Structures are given as structure tokens and as C-alpha cells.
Amino acid sequence: MATFLYKIGRLAFRRRHYVALMWVALLTLAGVGAASAPAAGNSSFSIPGTEAQKAFDLLEQRFPGMSADGATARVVFKAPSGEKMTGKANKATVRDTVKELRSGSEVTSVADPYTAHAVSKDGTIAYASVKYEVSGMELEDASRDALKAAAQDARDAGLTVEVGGDALTAAPETGSSEIIGIAVAAVVLVITFGSLLAAGFPLLTALIGVGIGVSTITALASALDLGTTTSTLASMIGLAVGIDYALFIVSRYRSELAEGREREEAAGRAVGTAGSAVVFAGLTVLIALVGLSVVNIPMLTKMGVAAAGTVAIAVLIALTLIPALLGYAGRRIKPTGEKSRLLGGGRKAKAGKPGGHGSHGKQTRPNMGTRWASFVVRRPVAVLLLGVIGLGAAAVPAASLELGLPDDGAQPTSTTQRRAYDLLSEGFGPGFNGPLMVVVDAKDSAHPKAAFTEVGDEIKGLKDVVTVTPAVPNKAGDTATITVVPNSKPSSTTTEDLVHAIRGKGADITSATDAKVLVTGSTAMNIDVSQRLNDALLPYLALVVGLAFLLLIVVFRSVLVPLKAALGFLLSVMAALGAVVAVFQWGWLSNLMNVEQTGPVMSMMPIFMVGVVFGLAMDYEVFLVTRMREAYVHGEKPSQAVVTGFRHGARVVTAAAVIMIAVFSGFIGSSESMIKMIGFGLAVAVFFDAFIVRMAIVPAVLALLGRRAWWLPRWLDRALPNVDVEGEGLRTAGDRHADPDGERELVRA
């Protein structure tokens, strides 16, 4: 591996014009594709195999043209103070609005509030239900614009008007905080490298990678049914790993220059060693993201695969474009220890190896990483206990984790969806925002009408039920729908209990009447999604951790090091989940995070955090521990190898973690609660994993294990392929590789 990547690095350095041209061409091609592709909205949402989805599918068959999963909107009207919605002028305004709404091209029906009994008991609030023929994910912008225009016309007439429902989906906005995150990354890179040029390379290549990835997603969005959240996630992860991967290779290149190597040779060795770590770190991220497909939620699968594609591009750019840019930079990229003139440099590096012996054998002052690692090696038990207890304390709130999917009640109060939600709760009760649709399939029943009546009567006797509408059968009379309004809000556990209670009654009804009872609607769908995600968490965790464990055994040629890496990851992800619960469920620091509404944590958060954080956590494990493994393989004692790994890698890993935290934190400013929560969770998880697990617990455990950390059964050692991540083969290959025709060797490799 190292030798092959070494040749790629030298080839890219020498043939930099072709490499740069290739990436510019790919960026241009992706940009043109994105610009010319048809516009695509949010992706369609389906959950194969769930009861709610089966009910939707049944309604499509038995109620042709009903568009059971079509978008809905509720235009909510409130009369001016001292007036009623039943007043003549207000009634005329509402009916004009209903008439305007019915003219929409995708509208299938609009219910007049005065004929549908949709006026509150006190007469101050009314609503018009609008039904569309396509889902909210597929609704055209023109239909949304018409909905907004109708609401505005009613406002101009003097009414308070708000619009709720899934028809008016707000596009997520990240705000200026995302730009601040990139700015912080730039500052950290300048401090790390002491050079504006060297700092600019990781940012430039990361932006190119994200540009290609997001443009490709945009170009394929219509064909593959990808939504806006997909590109947001891809940009979030692609930007973070793109900067980090380039950072490690540029840092290793400068270290090789400090060793006195020629620039082409240094580029080859940087790609051969740090590039090997990049490849395996990238593979762990890819495994974690692609593994999301085991959940069997198409939208989540698409998000994971799209983000994985962006990560793969980031790896390829780091291996090829970075050495090409280093070739263009020439002597303007200084060895480790030297600063550019612009930043007060011009002095020679004090040593060939930072924190070690200089090129003339002079001892230099140990750097911060060396001093910290030396302290941990001397006090491993104390550091280990402190780290584990600290993460354990942070994980305590995770025991109170409640899962759910956000509805309009989780929207900021500045949005019309949230204000409509609040008006409906005020006028009709909190459960009115999440009615349940019960579908009765009586095709196999001898007495369908009796079955419909029995289902309605059984539901009326359940707790937390406010209203049960009469059954509405289809033309064939073999299927009916019943609307149930709960007494509690859609995201509450009480409503979830009601859904399970109805389904429990359905089993008894089926045995008595041969009629099947299915519960659907957006609230039931959210409950089923949460259950699907909960059920998939352990299998997904086993798959991802298992595959990555095998991969790390190959990388480190050890059993205990990968085991320690996996256990450390579990600590950091549980602590991060605890922080998410404390902020988004308990409300701690909610004002600082601009969390207006606390409630259940998004259902996909745990499984998504497991996937993404595991991949990112293994980045730091690979980058840091391969340096230790490299020193151990070259003859150092285990404790000294730990210190050597920190001397070379701690500064860069710290910078990489700060950059990743800054990038993820930039998404906390998003108006979309899902993006906000993911950004916060990933930022906190990276902090815990990089600075507590990898920087404290890992060296403490390795110091305690000593040589046992690198133990591998002989039979397994013989069976495993030798991937040479440490670059042992470069000790001879690099010395003899001086011919200008490296391309021939690359082909033979």
C-alpha cells in the first residue's frame, strides 16, 4: 500500500499539470451538470414494510385518485380582537380564499370551514384543509407560491392567517455560522503550518471536493430522487474530512522536508505514509455511511451513499491534487519549524524533527504533544480513570433519551407553520395537529359495515381519544377510513401509546370479523420510523463496528488496539448523546443554541451519530496510532513509541479536531432542527473523541498494555495481508527510486 501510494504521490508531483487539469475538468463538468439539471425538491419519503406505509399503499389501491400520501395544508384563520369568524365580512374573506385555493393545479380538494365544521367552539379560529395530489416532498414551487399568495390576500383583508402542514416545507438555512466555521478552520491551519500558502491548500482542496460532490448530487437529484438535506449532509461531512485529510498529508510533507529530503521524494513519502492512513480512515467513514442502508429507509440510504461519495472524492483529492499543488508551490512550502516571511519567518528550523534531535545532533525543547504523552505514560491509571469517569458523567442524560420525529411544533416561532400549529392547538386542542387515520380492510369480512362500526366503537372507548369520525367507505364498500383526534400532541408518548392501543384492538377485531385494522397518517408514520430506527441500531452497530474492527486489525496488526478503539468510540458516542439530550430534550443551554422548543430527540440521531462519529473517530485513531505503530516497528519501546507518536501527530490531530468541530458547529445555526441537532451532536462527539478518548484514554491504555498492545496470534499474522501502512517498504524503495520514469513502475504496481 505505502509503496503504491508513494509512486502515486511522486507521479502527481511530477505530472501536476495533468492532475490539476483533471480535477478542474471534473469540477467544471459537475458544475455544468448541476446548472443544467432539472430542479428537484425534497426526496419522496417511504418506509417499506411498516404498517403506516402498508396502509398508504392500500388506500392507493382501494381509493383511486385519493392520493392518500398527498401533501396537506391547513390555512388557519383567526378573527380580529372582538370579532368572530362567523361574521359576515370574515366569512366572505374565508370563502374567497377557499375559492382561490381550489384553482391550484395540483390541488385535489379544499374543505370550506363552514361546511366542514372547522370553526372553534368560541368562534374565533377556523381552518381550511387543502389536499394535493402529490406528496409534500414532490410538490412544485408554484403550488407553494399559490398557497402563500392566498394566505397573504386574506391577511390583507384584516384576518390573522397562518399556514401549517407538510405542503409548505421550509428550505433549511444555515446562516452565517457556517462561514464562521470555515474561517475558524482557516485560522487554525495558518497557526498549525505558520504559512498562508500551506494553510490554503487543505481549504482549497476541501472546497473543490465538496463542490464536485454537491454539484454531482444536484445534477442527479431529480433522477435519483435526492433532497436538499442530502447535499447539506454531504457538504458537512465532505468539508470536514476533506480539510483533515489534506492537513495530514501536507503536515507529513513538511516533516519529510525537515528530514532533508528532496521535494518530490518528500511528496511521495507523505502520500505513502500519511496517505495510507487517509485511505484506511476514509474506508472506515465509507463503511459507516454506506452501512446506513441496513436500516432500510430509502431516504437515509441515499443520504449515506451521497455523503460517502463526497468522502471518497476527498480521499482521492488528498492523494493526488495535494502533491500536485505542493509541486506548484515549490520552495514556498517550508519544512516543519519554519514560518513564511509574511508570518515573521525566514529563520531556519531548529531541528530536523520537532521536539527531537536536530539535523546536527542538538537536542531541542520537547513540544506540547511530547510533554503531554510523557505525562500520560507516567500516570496512565489516573488519566484513564479521569477520562472514563468524565465521559461517563456526560453520558448520564442519555439514560433519559426519548426519540421521536419533529413536527411543526418543533419549528421556530418565527415560522408560519409553528404559528399555525399553535393556533390550531388553541382552538381545537393539541391532538388536532396530529390526527390518526385508521384504515379498515373488510374485503375478507362477511359484514363490512358491521366491522366498520365495531372499529369506531372500540376506538371511542380508548383513553386519550377526543374525536372519532364516522367511517367513510370506498365505492366497493370493502374498505373505510376513520379519523381519530387524540387529546395529546403528535410527538408525545401518550399519542404513541394510543397508536399501539388501536393496533392492539385491531388484532382482536381481525379475529372476530376478519377485517384488518391499519393505523396511518403522519403521526403514525413518525412512530413507525422511530421503531424501525430503534430496531436497526444494534444490527447496524454490529455491522459497522465489526467491519471496521477487521479493517483495523489489518492496519495495526493487533487485536487489542482495534478493541480499545471500538470501546473508546462507544464511550464518546454515549457522552455525545448525553449532551444532545441535555440541550435538545432537557433544555440546558437552549438559549445559547437557539433551541426554541425542547422535545424528543430526532429518531435517526442515535443511528446517524453512530455511523458518522464512528468513521470520524477512527480517523484520529488511524492517524495517531499508526505513528506509534511506525515507531514501534522501527525498534522503539512501547512507551517511547507512544511519546513518538504524539510528538509527530498530536499537533496535527489537535488542529484537525478543532477544524472539524468548527465546521460542524457552523451547522448549529441552521433553521432546520434536524441539521441543527446533527451539527451540535457531531461537534460534541468529535470533541469528546479527539481530546478525551484519543488524546488521553488511548495513550493511557497503550502505556498500561505495553508490548501486549501489539500482540497478534501467529496464525492470524500469517493470514493477514501486509498493507504496510507504516511505510516500512519506503526505506529501500524511496532510496532507489530516483529515475524520472516513475509512471512505468506505477503501471507495474
Give pLDDT tens digits for 307-336.
Answer: 899 999 999 999 999 999 999 988 888 787
pLDDT at 347 exceeding the cut of 80: no
- pLDDT for 41: 52
- Residue 658: HSE in the Cβ half-sphere, 13 Å Cα cutoff: 17
Work out the percent of the chain whose per-residue pLDDT is above 70: 88
321 or 109, which is more confident? 321
Which whole number is the average pLDDT over 667-675? 73
- pLDDT exceeds 50 at position 13: yes
Task: Report the distance separating Cα 17 and Cα 325, nearest Å.
Answer: 9
pLDDT for 177:
56
User: Would you state the pLDDT for residue 80?
Assistant: 92
Q: What is the pLDDT of residue 660?
A: 81
Cα 444 to Cα 636: distance, rounded to the nearest angstrom: 77
Which pLDDT score, from 0 to 100, does residue 361 have?
Answer: 43
Q: Residue with C-alpha cell 474530512? A: 241
Strand order across the 125-132 sheet: 107-111, 125-132, 72-78, 160-164
| Lowest-pLDDT range of 26-35, 44-53, 396-405, 732-741 | 732-741
> Tens digits of per-residue pLDDT, 561-612?
888 888 888 899 899 999 999 998 888 887 777 776 777 788 778 887 887 7
The predicted structure's pLDDT at residue 131:
87
Residue 724 has pLDDT above 70, yes or no: no
Instruction: Choose the weakest-confidence range: 141-145, 280-284, 729-733.
Output: 729-733
For residue 477, the 8-state DSSP code is S
pTM higher than the cut 0.85: no
Average pLDDT score over the chain:
82
Q: Residue 569: its pLDDT value, please?
A: 85
Residue 126 backbone class (left: φ over 0; alpha: ψ -120 to 50; beta: rest): beta
Residue 253 makes CB contacts below 8 A (sequence gap 6+) with: 266, 267, 270, 323, 326, 333
Query: Which cell is 626 given?
Result: 499508526
What local confidence, expressed as pLDDT, does residue 736 receive? 44
In this prediction, residue 143 carries a pLDDT of 86
The alpha carbon of residue 549 and the mean position of all alpha carbons in its chain are separated, in whole angstroms, by 22
Helix segments in 50-114, DSSP class H? 51-62, 88-102
Stretch among 10-19, 390-399, 661-670 having the lowest mean pLDDT:
661-670
Where residue 382 falls among pLDDT bands split at 50, 70, 90? very high
User: At residue 747, does pLDDT exceed 60?
Assistant: no
Q: Is the pLDDT of residue 362 over 60?
A: no
pLDDT tens, residue by residue, 164-174: 887 776 455 54
Mean pLDDT of 234-255: 85
539: pLDDT confidence band, cut at 50, 70 and 90?
Answer: confident
Categorize the per-residue pLDDT at 230 as very low, low, confident or very high, splitting at 50, 70 and 90. confident
Task: Give the C-alpha separation, 657 to 214, whole Å.
Answer: 23
Judge whether residue 395 has pLDDT over 90.
yes
